[in-house]
Structure 1
Amino acid sequence: MFSKKPGPSTKKPTAAPVSNGSTFSVIGADVVIKGDVEARADLHIDGTVRGDISCASLVQGDTSLVEGAITAESARLAGTVQGTITARELIVLKSARIEGDVHYETLTIEQGASVAGRFAPDASETVQAPGPKAEKNSKDEGDEPHLSLAG
């Protein structure tokens, strides 16, 4: 009886607030970077980087190429890397092709991945990604690096 149809809204849309937490940067498949890349945030690479990479967390697409050293707290590699890799937590997917030494604390390698280099379970002493420093874990005697093979 007294119902009214709602009129058009006069409220203007607002932009979503920008998070002060973690951010995510993407290097697209058509991008080629010549020089070092440093990010305080997470980085996803589908393109080519000819230089060293230092970031908090790295995700590499299966068609990407990195010609340089990688330093990250965590890395998930699926493409080609020609250089040394240093990461606390490293996942090497079956499509990955790595030419260089690998330093890690925790390592997972899928069956079919190719690594031409040496493995060294010492990343906890060498990882220094940009941004806030992570607390260094004190190792008790008997603590050993973890290696798992994914099937």
Structure 2
Amino acid sequence: MFGWKKTPPIRTLIGEGTVISGEIRFSDGLRIDGELHGDVSAVGEGQTLLVISDKARVHGKVRAGHVIINGSVEGPVVADELLELQPKARIVGDVRYEALEMHQGATIDGELRAMKSDAAPGLKLAASSPATPVGDRAAS
């Protein structure tokens, strides 16, 4: 869909109930179900995947190629390729993205900016049902 050939494998898991303080650097894929106090960033060449589950809390900067968030992030988020914000995503911090998919219920308390301000951003709104135009609604 966004030029992805193959999703990188998740090789590292920070499990639920785990609390880590410090910087995390990873290649390929990382899934966070626990709590992280520090920055998390992808390194190396190639595609990277970061999944922050609905149970996860990250207090620090987040950066990877493909970022999927369904938990809580307090800090700036940068997705070099695709940012997916699931319904329970909560971000307090500025967000930069190449392409964005945002589900109903996700919230951002910060600036939302496409990386290429001169080009039209890749924006996809995820909706559970088609929108009804205001003029078509029946009066109650």
Q: Same fold (TM over 0.5)?
A: yes
1:81-110 Cα deviation digits (max 9, x unpaired): 000000020000110111000000100110
Q: Is the 8 A contact 2:65 2:82 kept in 1?
A: yes
Aligned partner of residue 54 in structure 2, secondary structure: coil
Residue 46, structure 1, aligned to residue 53, structure 2:
no
Q: Stretches of 4+ moved more than 6 A in 1?
A: none
Equivalent residue number for residue 115 of structure 1:
108
2: CA distance, partners of 1:32 / 1:106? 30
Residue 150, structure 1, aligned to residue 126, structure 2:
yes
Equivalent residue number for residue 12 of structure 1:
none
Of 71, 77, 82, 2:63 maps to 71
Equivalent pairs: percent with the same residue? 35
Larger Rg: 1
Root mean square deviation, CA, Å? 1.8
Superposition deviation, residue 67 in structure 1: 0.2
2: CA distance, partners of 1:29 / 1:68? 18
2: CA distance, partners of 1:143 / 1:115? 22
Q: What TM-score results when the alignment is normalised by the length of structure 1?
A: 0.71
Runs of 5+ consecutive residues of structure 1 not aligned to the other structure: 1-20, 125-141
Q: How many residues align?
A: 114
Q: What TM-score results when the alignment is normalised by the length of structure 2?
A: 0.76
Q: Is the 8 A contact 2:10 2:49 kept in 1?
A: no
Q: Is the 8 A contact 2:10 2:31 kept in 1?
A: no
